[in-house]
A and B are shown apart, each in its own frame.
Chain A
Amino acid sequence: MFLLLFLLIPILAAIALLFIKKEQYVNAVAIAAGLFTLLAAVNIIMNKTVSFDATWLPVLNSRFVLQADGVAKILILLTAISFPAIFIATGKNQTHQKNIFLALMLLTQAGLMGVFLAGDALLFYFFWELALIPVYFLCSIWGGEKRIAVTFKFFIYTFLGSLFMLIGIILLYTNTLDHSFAIESLKHANVTPGQSASAFALFFIAFAIKMPIFPLHTWQPDAYEQSPTAVTMVLSAVMVKMGLYGIIRWLMPLFPDAFLAHANIVVILSVIGILYASFIAIRQDDLKRLIAYSSIAHIGLMSAALFTNIQIGVQGALVQLFSHGINVLGLWIIADIIEQQTGTRSMKALGGLAKKQPTLAILLVGFSFANIALPLTNAFVGEFLMFNSLFQFNPYIAAAAGVSVILAAVYTLNMVQKVAYGEISSAVNNMQAVNKNAQAVLIVLIVVVFFTGVYPQPLFDLTADTLKQLFVK
């Protein structure tokens, strides 16, 4: 029953928001809902695996199954942290029809929670789509200049991907012995190797588009750039994790043979994606685009590590799911503050932030270090493990992927240098005092960054059961 809270709190709050028009209450309701969800998430983490099971569609034998194992828990925690953080940090931004904006954000949260919790394939598909619809409206209504076309591209891409997944689900379902969508039944579906490979490919396309893996990534930088910043934060901190989560929760257990058979291709594609995104990131002048490409590179590394199918790599990716979310959230919040205050995202027009806003500059440096995965930051733990597994998988691929660490340092430090140091530019000179709420959120996040960087054991403990399921037969 408790797991239902993760769906009910955001949905009820969203419905309530439709009727609240007063600006000052609107944000408070959203933040309160976010914090309640966070409390619930903390409670879940303290407990052992919990699940919920109810009849839903008896005709199809699909059940309303929610279950929180390690990988679900870590992503629920990330989602539960991200949303209130976003609400608090961007609460002061000017938005028209704010109540509807926040209501849609909360619906997105409910969809994401559903994706991470669903233990039934059809239910999973439902939530997978439900997380997408509100985002479509959010980006198309509140986004930048080219929002309609860009968001539509994003929508069509993901929708097509999810339809492929639907066929995959049906393909497995028709071959299950007890005609059920439960993971356990699908795992033992009576399929030929050929069918299994097809189903694997169908699922994989959906996840690959969502992550996104090269060459299916073209929707992403545009979508990140054109979305309102609050939505960009959701997209890059949480939503891309849907794809990785899908791999861990569905792809690995359901198609162990096809997974191994295709590991080489996917790892190589991922590494191409990493290098490609890193090189493009170096050339970017727009802060938002830079973070977007850097994010593609990081996600690529995680997908490569997952497909090595080596325990420490998967362990690293599991930890990195969380860490990457926190880091990229911090970077986005800083980028948003800078954009709100200076009116520009172009790095050429910025400079001298350290003199004008020392606290913000320190925070920027902190998150940048985490983005490069320096030791003591949270990202180091995950990346170290992931590179380790890639090296075991194939040293040459590991070497190629390793170049991305250097490239990450190049573009991140370049960004820090241009934004924080140098002469105070006119844009930066106009900056007012930084919004205290946003700064508080950033400080909390940076504490998380260094705490989990120095003492990552809680994250390992949290995900231990998922690893055990995947690797201990």
Chain B
Amino acid sequence: MNAIIVSTLLGVIMMFVSWMTTSTRIQKNIGLVGMLLLIAANFLQQKGWWVINFDTKGMLAFNQIGLFANMLLFILTFLYVWINGDEIGKIGNHTADFFAIFFFILCGVSILTSFDNLLMLFIGIEILSIPLYILTGSDKKNLLSNEASLKYFLMGSFSTGVLLLGITLIYGATGSFHLAMPIVNPKTHLVNENFLMSAGLILLFVSMNFKVSAAPFHFWTPDVYDGAPTVFTSFMATIVKAAGFIAFIRVFEAQRIALGYTWPIILSFVIVATLLVGNITAVFQRSVKRMLAYSSIAQAGFMLFALYGNSIFNTEAILLYIVAYSLATIGLFAVLVKMKDYSFDSYNGLAKKHPALAFVTTLFLFSLAGIPLTAGFFAKYYMLNALLTAGAGLWLLIVAILFAAVSVFYYFRLIQAMYFISGEPAINELDKTYELKLWVIAVLIIIMGVFPGFMFNYLYF
């Protein structure tokens, strides 16, 4: 509860900050302090030292895993803002507004990690999505940004409609919005009407797939990610997507039982389609930004594995995957932001001119590709392990790693451009502190790649 309330308050405060000061730098720093406050508030609830609490009639339920997910996403947001603060300041006239939007999104995130009721899921998704439409269109003078925003808004509202319909059908079947639904409908006194229930769950499934950009509901992703200002793409592709996954898992953790044996079949279909579309399309991209958009679809395919089973392995795996994927993606986008154009060629010869920058970029790419000693390896390892433990067929794992090998194809194109092709990189001026910030991410990735356990030690002890 702490996080929800504090983030809302901070959002409101940030809205008014631009009246007090016009300096982007001060606004940014206030935003960063706000993030720290939010992290602290969540930490206090984790430890149980200071908890704002009132009766939500079972709409929200806070457990350690949800709070931990909050923590991870808040810290990721903090890192994201810390690195990209200056770039955010360059877009639009009112920097503080963007921070307000971030806090509202984080409010949505905290609801999505703790809802216990399908209505709260709906509200969480809406609180998360509406600010995103604004962020996407925040580059007002850019036609692409406007187009992306409109597209995202139309598609997003449609999928929200589907979500609502799904919730309605489930209510019809069970007479309850609660996640732990009664088996017997108290109104009709019938055991869950199977057809209604399954139809509702399938609609829910479709809509959640849309939010996490899983194929075949991914069509908005490349255009929106490409059109949105690059700094915000980075935010959407990481923290927002991660929150979507946590909500996805929360809904289907218990409810999949209603789908019975069809669940693995549907899920496998979506997984394979997502891996296929994401990876194969990414190979043919000419723009790094679009490649990263497709790569985020492809990575979503891996994250969907967490839905296959219902054990602690899955939760651990998705949390680790979220962190590994988000860190690397934030890092890559932070480099991309500094590029003059987004083609692969603009990276040519980067290793000669900025060896340190090229090195950290390589690390990020290694992590996404899942090469050992980086966080990405253990993320993939945990996922595959969870999948196998959940009793998935070996064929699914083999498909997964075949596509992991395909992903090396496009990630390494950047490495080839940086190290093996000579040229003049099209990169803007960099200051030393910016590189230093990227090193922080790189070090985090390495630490998690050597000792993946430390994250969970924190969770359990």
Query: Chain A interface (Cβ within 8 Å of chain B)?
Result: 57-60, 125-126, 129-130, 133, 137, 140-141, 147-148, 152, 155-156, 159-160, 163-164, 166-167, 170-171, 173-174, 198
Given A57-B452, A140-B420, answer yes or no on A174-B401 (Cβ-Cβ < 8 Å). no
Given A152-B416, A155-B408, answer yes or no on A125-B372 (Cβ-Cβ < 8 Å). yes
Does B181 interact with chain A (Cβ within 8 Å)?
A: no
Which of the 9-residue segments B8-16, B324-332, B384-392, B436-444 touches chain A?
B384-392
Name the 6 nearest CB pairs between A and B, nearest first.
A59-B453, A163-B401, A160-B405, A126-B372, A129-B372, A140-B420
Docked Cα-Cα span, A16 to B16, in Å, equals 53
CB contacts under 8 Å to A, within B63-113, are none
Residue of A nearest to B351 (CB): A141
B456→A167 contact, CB < 8 A = no
Number of A-B contacts (CB under 8 A): 67
Docked Cα-Cα span, A204 to B434, in Å, equals 45
A-B pairs with beta carbons under 8 Å apart, 14 shown = A59-B452, A133-B371, A140-B419, A155-B412, A156-B405, A159-B405, A160-B405, A163-B401, A163-B404, A163-B405, A170-B384, A170-B397, A174-B389, A198-B394
A36 nearest CB across to chain B (Å):
24
Query: Chain B interface (Cβ within 8 Å of chain A)?
Result: 366, 371-373, 381, 384-385, 388-389, 394, 397-398, 401-402, 404-405, 408-409, 412, 416, 419-421, 451-453, 456-457
Docked Cα-Cα span, A148 to B422, in Å, equals 12
Neighbour of B384 across the interface among A125, A137, A152, A167, CB < 8 A: A167
Docked Cα-Cα span, A2 to B25, in Å, equals 54
List A contacts of B366 (CB < 8 A): 133
B408→A140 contact, CB < 8 A = no
List B contacts of A141 (CB < 8 A): 419-420
Residue of A nearest to B366 (CB): A133
B170 nearest CB across to chain A (Å):
34
Docked Cα-Cα span, A263 to B26, in Å, equals 71
Most chain B CB neighbours (cut-off 10 Å) among A140, A141, A155, A163: A163
B453→A166 contact, CB < 8 A = no
B456→A59 contact, CB < 8 A = yes
User: What would 7 more interface pairs be, CB under 8 Å, given A59-B452, A171-B394?
Assistant: A125-B372, A133-B371, A141-B419, A155-B412, A166-B381, A170-B384, A170-B397
A137→B372 contact, CB < 8 A = no
Given A160-B401, A163-B404, A170-B384, answer yes or no on A148-B416 (Cβ-Cβ < 8 Å). yes
A164→B401 contact, CB < 8 A = yes
List A contacts of B412 (CB < 8 A): 152, 155
Docked Cα-Cα span, A295 to B426, in Å, equals 44
List A contacts of B409 (CB < 8 A): 156
B422 nearest CB across to chain A (Å):
11
Neighbour of A170 across the interface among B371, B385, B404, CB < 8 A: B385
Docked Cα-Cα span, A58 to B371, in Å, equals 21
Neighbour of A137 across the interface among B401, B408, B419, B457, CB < 8 A: B419
B178 nearest CB across to chain A (Å):
33
Residue of B nearest to A133 (CB): B371
Docked Cα-Cα span, A137 to B388, in Å, equals 34
A308 nearest CB across to chain B (Å):
29
Residue of A nearest to B412 (CB): A152
Docked Cα-Cα span, A310 to B402, in Å, equals 35
List B contacts of A129 (CB < 8 A): 371-372
List B contacts of A126 (CB < 8 A): 372-373
Residue of B nearest to A147 (CB): B420
A278 nearest CB across to chain B (Å):
31
Residue of B nearest to A195 (CB): B394
List B contacts of A167 (CB < 8 A): 384, 388, 394, 397-398, 401
Residue of B nearest to A142 (CB): B420
A452 nearest CB across to chain B (Å):
35
B372→A130 contact, CB < 8 A = yes
Docked Cα-Cα span, A60 to B450, in Å, equals 12
Neighbour of A171 across the interface among B372, B388, B408, CB < 8 A: B388
List B contacts of A156 (CB < 8 A): 405, 408-409
Residue of A nearest to B397 (CB): A167
List B contacts of A173 (CB < 8 A): 385
List B contacts of A60 (CB < 8 A): 452-453
Given A140-B419, A170-B384, answer yes or no on A159-B372 (Cβ-Cβ < 8 Å). no
Docked Cα-Cα span, A336 to B230, in Å, equals 49
A166→B401 contact, CB < 8 A = yes
Docked Cα-Cα span, A155 to B384, in Å, equals 22
A204 nearest CB across to chain B (Å):
14
A174→B385 contact, CB < 8 A = yes
Docked Cα-Cα span, A129 to B402, in Å, equals 17
Given A148-B420, A171-B394, A198-B394, answer yes or no on A130-B401 (Cβ-Cβ < 8 Å). no
B398→A159 contact, CB < 8 A = no
Docked Cα-Cα span, A92 to B371, in Å, equals 34
Most chain B CB neighbours (cut-off 10 Å) among A137, A156, A166: A166
Docked Cα-Cα span, A129 to B453, in Å, equals 21
B384→A57 contact, CB < 8 A = no
Docked Cα-Cα span, A398 to B56, in Å, equals 79
